[in-house]
Amino acid sequence: MAERTRKNSKTEEESSQESPPLEEDSLEGSRESAGAKDVKGKRQREEKGFDPQTWHPRTTLGKAVKEGTIKHIDEILDEGRPILEAEIVDTLLPNLQTDLLLIGQAKGKFGGGQRRVFKQTQKKTREGNKPKFSTFAVVGNMDGYVGVGHGKAKETVPAREKAIRNAKLNIIKIRRGSGSWQSNSTDQHSLPFRVRGKCGSVIIDLIPAPKGTGLVVEKECQKLLRLAGIQDVWSRTRGQTNSKLNTLYACFAALRELIRTRVREQDAKATGMAEGSAANVKAGES
């Protein structure tokens, strides 16, 4: 037994001598490479944005935008062509701003009742509760172009990305002007006429207001109108306005009526009406 233990100890010593220890340089190099990868990934996430050079369009409309055949988004919206790629909007409207609206509500003893960006729902299954998160996004350039979108996913980040993408696909152009009888201005600070939108039981009327009035409307609708480029407006709402989604969709439906309504040339001239950008003032004014 003593001889066996001696042989085992000898073999262990030989194996320890044969296997050299890891060098400190290699350990430091691996740590540096791992740290560099983390920093690089973080930098890529921070600098992540739309690059037209790396975009590979898959639709006919996207290819036309990529080639430069279509240079303005009005060419798409006036023809009523559907936008199926969010990169089309990123290319034609590079100065878009994004905002997430408060449609959810926090739970708990201390934070209960406070508004949140994400609305959480749960599904009861045999495996347990399966939560889902939904959010509502608004995009606009504050100069006559605005879009809204709703996203839902099992995690918060995919839900936000879906909402922003859907908002870009639903972008529209609106009319602005000064339709208030209390103002003689022809600037595009308000609405040219009164419009109404409806979703569910919620009905909202947007009424032109004189300069300096501000956005007299529900708080989340203020963000929507501000990104659309509207500065002064009165409003009247009816129905179950506690439903934030219906209220926002009703407000967006009212903005959509601005471009659908037919307007006489003399009325467009009197109100200083412009479609889309403020530079597109009605030709009858000049």
Span(s) in the chain for CATH 3.30.160.20: 59-173
Report DSSP letters for 147-192, one per residue: EEEEEEESSHHHHHHHHHHHHHHT-EE-EEB---TT----SSSB-S
Please report the pLDDT score of residue 43 as a whole number: 37
Decide if 220 contacts 241 (C-beta within 8 A).
no
Q: What is the mean pLDDT of the chain?
A: 82
Region 114-129: mean pLDDT is 90
pLDDT of residue 277 exceeding 90, the answer is: no
Please report the pLDDT score of residue 276 as a whole number: 81
Please report the pLDDT score of residue 235 as a whole number: 96
Nearest Cα residue to 261 out of 196, 215, 210, 200: 196
CATH value of 59-173 in 3.40.50.300, 3.30.160.20, 3.10.20.30, 3.40.50.970: 3.30.160.20
Please report the pLDDT score of residue 167 as a whole number: 96
Please report the pLDDT score of residue 104 as a whole number: 86
The gap from C-alpha 25 to its chain's centroid, in whole angstroms, comes to 47
Please report the pLDDT score of residue 38 as a whole number: 44
Please report the pLDDT score of residue 286 as a whole number: 37
Decide if 60 contacts 88 (C-beta within 8 A).
no
CATH class of 175-279: alpha beta
Contacts of 246 (CB under 8 A, 6+ apart): 199, 200, 201, 202, 239, 240
pTM for this one? Answer: 0.77
Task: Give tens-digit pLDDT for 31-48.
Answer: 444 444 443 343 333 345
Task: Give tens-digit pLDDT for 233-265.
Answer: 999 999 999 899 999 999 999 999 999 999 999
Confidence of residue 63 (pLDDT cuts 50, 70, 90): very high
pLDDT of residue 134 exceeding 70, the answer is: yes
The amino acid present at 235, given as its one-letter code, is S
Span(s) in the chain for CATH 3.30.230.10: 175-279
Rounded to 10 deg, the angle between the 244-260 and 219-228 helix axes is: 30
Contacts of 144 (CB under 8 A, 6+ apart): 173, 174, 175, 176, 188, 228, 229, 274, 275, 276, 277, 278, 280
pLDDT of residue 174 exceeding 90, the answer is: yes
